[in-house]
Amino acid sequence: MLYLLRGRHLFDGQGGPLKAVYFAGLPDACLRVEREYEGAVTVFYGDETPAETLTKFGVPSARIPRMLREETVYDEARLRFTRDLLRSEQHRQIRPVDRSGYRAFGTARDGVVARIRHGRAHRLPPLMRAHVGPYLPDRAAAVRLFQDWTSRLARAGFLDVLSIGTSQLSQSNFGEAWEEKRNGGGVPINSAEEFHAVWKAARPMLVRTYAGTQDIPQLAQLYEKTLHIAWHALSFWWFSQIDGRGPYPVRRNLEQHIETLRFIAGSGKPFEPNIPHHFAYRGADDVTYIVSAVLAARTAKRLGVRHFILQNMLNTPKYTWGVQDLAKSRAMLSLVKELEDSHFQVILQPRAGLDYFSHDLEKAKVQLAAVSAMMDDIEPHDATSPAIIHVVSYSEAAYLADPEVIDESMQITRAAITAYRDLKARGAVEDMARHVEVQERTETLREGARTILAAIEKSIPAPYTAEGLYAVFAAGFLPVPYLWECREEFPNAVRWRTRLFQGGIVVVDETGQPISPSRRAEVITETM
């Protein structure tokens, strides 16, 4: 095509109308285009920042919008700092943490709360959690490989919480014959004995795994017996027919999750809502992200859960500005922490976004370090926060992380936080606790979430039950414009439009202008 355009003299240097040719695609395709056309075609890999995108389109730096330049100063500063950090390879000096100073350590009685308390008492780094789950066509070989990886990670000592990345069939068809069923990737564990073997190989790590997508309470009980599971995670509306990940209709899924929550509360184990980022994946706005977490927290507390692990996926979507990510994190955390008392405690667990990382491994390492530094700015004056970090391995955009990559990812994460705290102590970087823009954005998001939550409690009977949570979604209080499945069942949830606005995601009207949460609440309640 390029040769054809040149042959017809269509480029501006030839007197034609075309200034440039651009190509966007998967990494291998982009590399081939760059190689074959020797730079004559500008290539987009999909890992570009907004400023990099504009620059590639030939926009002079002076014409890049002032707000974009100013509000991404925080992001660019973290990237510069972490480039230097990775270039020096300081992370290679990070060593495993000895957490063995309490009686239950590594035993069946061990738990994440005890490990966090011990760490805080001895000023140890945050607990490191990572997903691990190789896939091979041969099921038995995949399970053996996973056992080997588990043993290697346990010996290395960097990983504190092994999160088993089980296959789709492990979640949806556990214990059945799989010969004719299609697997969705992940480690294909299919028996109680295999789960228990993982726990033994993982000593002294804590272990957890995905919830089931059918027979959910029964699988939760199995995880307790075989894995002494560190904590349970449920997704309420998700991992059902609504996203094609489970067999249950949404209402039935909620009923199963509420039943499972009652079991979790009785077990005394913590609960993690695997919820807000699933709304973000489907185009939800930042207020909805926060509201969904608060709904889960209020539901859990009413059912007797005592420890609530608040997972917070940053960089979702990946074009979110850092100042907005901090504001969203702080607004969500503050609203959930309002529920704290002697019977309900909140544990923060931030993580990077899944689609944030570049296919370029060196660039991805820098991104991992940069987002790790941002995690330390959520509660910048609390040396014990975050208590847990869900480390997304830097290779995830290119290939599945093996033990070496997982261990190095944890070294990068810890090195970035240590170095960043040192910079803050010396006054070498801005104190984000005092950042006026973050404070203003936090308050705006917090008040917006309060408005929606108040409207829910006023208009939905018993909102913290399976029936109530279904009604909340059906009424349109949790917009998901990108939802693919069950759109006919939830027309009010998909009616809203959202877009990126000043670094965050907002609900907009037909002209693209933001709609306030109070106006949204009015529209919803008027049509109920």
φ/ψ of residue 71, rounded to 5: -80, -15
Once rounded to an integer, what is the mean pLDDT over residues 170-176? Answer: 92
The pLDDT of residue 71 is above 80? no
- Using pLDDT thresholds of 50, 70 and 90, give the confidence band for residue 70: low
pLDDT band at 59 (very low <50, low <70, confident <90, very high): confident
Domain ranges of the chain: 2-70, 230-346+434-528
State residue 457's pLDDT score: 97
**pLDDT greater at residue 1 or residue 73:** 73
Q: Check residue 20 and give its pLDDT.
A: 81
Q: How many Cα atoms are found within 13 Å in the side-chain-facing hemisphere of 305?
A: 31
Q: Is residue 49 over pLDDT 90?
A: no
**Is-contact 54 35, C-beta < 8 A?**
no
The per-residue pLDDT for range 250-295, each reduced to its tens digit, is: 999 999 999 999 999 999 999 999 999 999 999 999 999 999 999 9
pLDDT of 229 > 90? The answer is yes
Q: Give 137-144 contacts, CB < 8 A, sequence gap 24+.
A: 139/178, 139/188, 139/190, 142/187, 142/188, 143/187, 143/188, 143/189, 143/194
Q: What is the pTM for the complete model shown?
A: 0.94
> pLDDT per residue over 351-392, tens digit each?
999 889 999 999 999 999 999 999 999 999 999 999 999 999
| Over residues 427-437, mean pLDDT | 94
Joined together, the tokens standing for residue 185 give: 């990737």
336 vs 184 pLDDT, higher one = 336
Give the whole-angstrom CA distance, residue 472 versus residue 476. Answer: 7
The pLDDT value recorded for residue 179 is: 81
Indicate if the pLDDT at residue 303 is higher than 80: yes
In three state form, how does the secondary structure of 421-445 look?
HHHHHCCCCCCHHHCHHHHHHHHHH
389-416 pLDDT, tens digit per residue, is: 999 999 999 999 999 999 999 999 999 9
Cα–Cα distances in Å, from 492 out to 138, 248, 255, 324, 331?
A: 44, 21, 21, 27, 26
